[in-house]
Structure 1
Amino acid sequence: MEYVVLNGEIIERDKAKIDVEDRGYQFGDGVYEVIRVYNGRMFTALEHLERLVSSAEKIGMKLGWPIEDLEKLFNSLIEKNQLGTGIVYMQVTRGTSPRSHAFPPAGVAQTLVAYTRDMQRPANNLANGVKTILAEDIRWLRCDIKSLNLLGNILAKQKAAEAGCYEALLHRGETVTEGSSSNIFIIKDGTVFTHPANNLILNGITRQTLEKLCVATGIPFVEKEFSVVDMLAADEIAVASTTTEIAAVVEVDGQPVGSGKPGPVSRKLQSLFEQEIERQCGKLAMNS
């Protein structure tokens, strides 16, 4: 039996129903988060839930559940579903109301949905790196909001999939922004560069964690715009996200990055990140 969360209650999945006029379904009017789970424990849960609150506020929603209650609820869901390694997905919409572009009247209840999914660590990508393509960033100008509106991301990801690649590296004109579902980092002369955390990218939780680890261990970390030319001339490229962790990019549009294998700084970042996971969640096994 699989269980999900619907509006603050844990129920059997086949009993969970959403109204066809829910604004998440009709307008993408909502926000979401994905939290990684290792050894049955959520990793960086507070950071993800704080970003959920922030994303909601940016679209004019005050989240209807306190962070502390959500954390307890999702821990209960993990236990109920006996999840070891995987994710918790959650989304909150502005609720159900007769279809109208303007916000519904005050008092309409938000809709909260969450579920768990088994998802092993990406062993092959971590060990061997990933292939990527370049793609124009056609998304809207509020990428800092983790909203349900992901069509631009989906189109880029599909383009990468059709090319036999893991990720699409997005750029607005000549400026590299982020991946279709990840943040991008380039390494040049031992320094890690990434796009500033403004409205053009999502300030990833893995990105934030990586910055803290770099600062703590003396690895230069610089938030600075860089061009496609800069990226292709880098010593190493890496992408990072909740489910990707930190993967070296070994190819862009069919051309090798550096030696065509994960580089030393990317390997160091992976090691530091794994140590942080183990600090929060206990000893890791690649396929546990």
Structure 2
Amino acid sequence: MQYHVNGELVARENATVSVDDRGFRYGDAAFETCRAYGGEVYRWQRHAERLQRTCETLGMPDAVPDDLALRVAETLDANDLEGAYVRTSISRGVQLGKLTPDEDVDPTVVVYVRPLPRGGVDGERVWDDPAVVQSVKTRRPPDAALPADAKTHNYLNGILARLELRTASSDTYQPDEALIRDTDGYVAEGSTSNLFFVDDGVVKTPAEGSLLPGITRELVIELAESEEFPVETGRYTLDNVRSADEAFLTNTTWELRPIETVDGIELGGGPMTSLLQRLYDERVETRCY
């Protein structure tokens, strides 16, 4: 494998960053997870725009290189990948070990890829089974504490949530995604996913403000609205989700993944989940193959 590090293709074993890099020291970095289908990054422009917004939030608006899309394409070509997980990371770069960042920024820019199967109508799922979801005690920090729409390297919140799953696990119960609530107790998101559930034919998802609004989440809402399915965003309790007719998770890699259980209560996918997955697959097929 080869990765793109600071403008150059580098063999995996040589793809390193400095111990003085602020992304390593403080999580002072922005990133985007994308997915390539047919050799092209799907919805690249939206990912690039969010990456730019995160860098602006971090006070380094000029950190995104103008040729980032070219670096991504070169990395895919160098590894001969048609289907791929693509992660672009931009840290503030190497600076002295102090919390206050320097005004001058020399960013560290990394493009990382790994193979994924074909997507679209004739594609394969990257997950083997529907998700087993467990609610956790870890709360999503409020937007006033950490900007909810900033996608940074600081994933401690999600890590703590995933660690709680170990405590909940047993020989017969193996949850693989955490459901995180906000500080008021309303459901927000998964540790690496957004949540949807269906109740009496209405597609519902937690409102923005206490969650990272995913690119796939956005597309699913667009697909549902284009079919004139009722879509609602709001504040929902765990009981609202547990009593839903069906539920699923979204992220760039999983696309749409049905939820099998929440806190041991059976939900499963359903006709709306299946239909939206088909619409998503058809959109990918049309745009990328």
- Tell me by how many angstroms 1:124 deviates: 7.4
Query: What amino acid maps onto 1:110 in structure 2?
Result: P
Partner of 2:30 in structure 1?
31
Does residue 115 of the first structure (1) align with residue 112 of the second (2)? yes
Larger displacement relative to structure 2 (58-67 or 14-23) = 58-67
Aligned length: 274
Partner of 1:218 in structure 2?
228
Mapping of residues 226-237 of structure 1, within 5 Å: 226-237=236-247
Paired-residue identity, %: 29
- Tell me by how many angstroms 1:4 deviates: 1.0
Tell me, in whole angstroms, the C-alpha distance in 2 between the residues paired with 1:22 and 1:103: 11
- Tell me by how many angstroms 1:8 deviates: 2.2
CA contact (8 A) 1:161 1:167 kept: no
Does residue 73 of the first structure (1) align with residue 42 of the second (2)? no
What TM-score comes out, normalization by structure 2 length? 0.89
Residue 271 and residue 20 in structure 1: after superposition, are their counterparts in 2 closer, same or farther (change >3 A)? same
CA contact (8 A) 1:132 1:160 kept: no
CA contact (8 A) 2:134 2:177 kept: yes
Partner of 1:145 in structure 2?
150
Tell me, in whole angstroms, the C-alpha distance in 1 between the residues paired with 2:190 and 2:93: 30
Tell me, in whole angstroms, the C-alpha distance in 1 between the residues paired with 2:16 and 2:84: 24
Mapping of residues 150-189 of structure 1, within 5 Å: 150-160=155-165, 163=169, 164-172=174-182, 173-189=184-200
Partner of 2:269 in structure 1?
262
1:219 partner SS = coil
CA contact (8 A) 2:140 2:188 kept: no
Kindly provide the CA deviation profile for residues 130-173 of structure 1, in whole angstroms up to 9, marking residues without a partner as x.
21111134343323210101011012123336621221111124
Residue 124 and residue 93 in structure 1: after superposition, are their counterparts in 2 closer, same or farther (change >3 A)? closer
CA contact (8 A) 2:52 2:64 kept: no
Tell me, in whole angstroms, the C-alpha distance in 2 between the residues paired with 1:124 and 1:276: 18
Partner of 1:192 in structure 2?
203
Partner of 2:45 in structure 1?
46
Runs of 5+ consecutive residues of structure 1 not aligned to the other structure = 283-288
Kindly provide the CA deviation profile for residues 200-254 of structure 1, in whole angstroms up to 9, marking residues without a partner as x.
1111000011111111111111121111111112111111001111011120121
Residue 221 and residue 66 in structure 1: after superposition, are their counterparts in 2 closer, same or farther (change >3 A)? farther
Tell me, in whole angstroms, the C-alpha distance in 2 between the residues paired with 1:133 and 1:63: 40
Query: What amino acid maps onto 1:97 in structure 2?
Result: Q
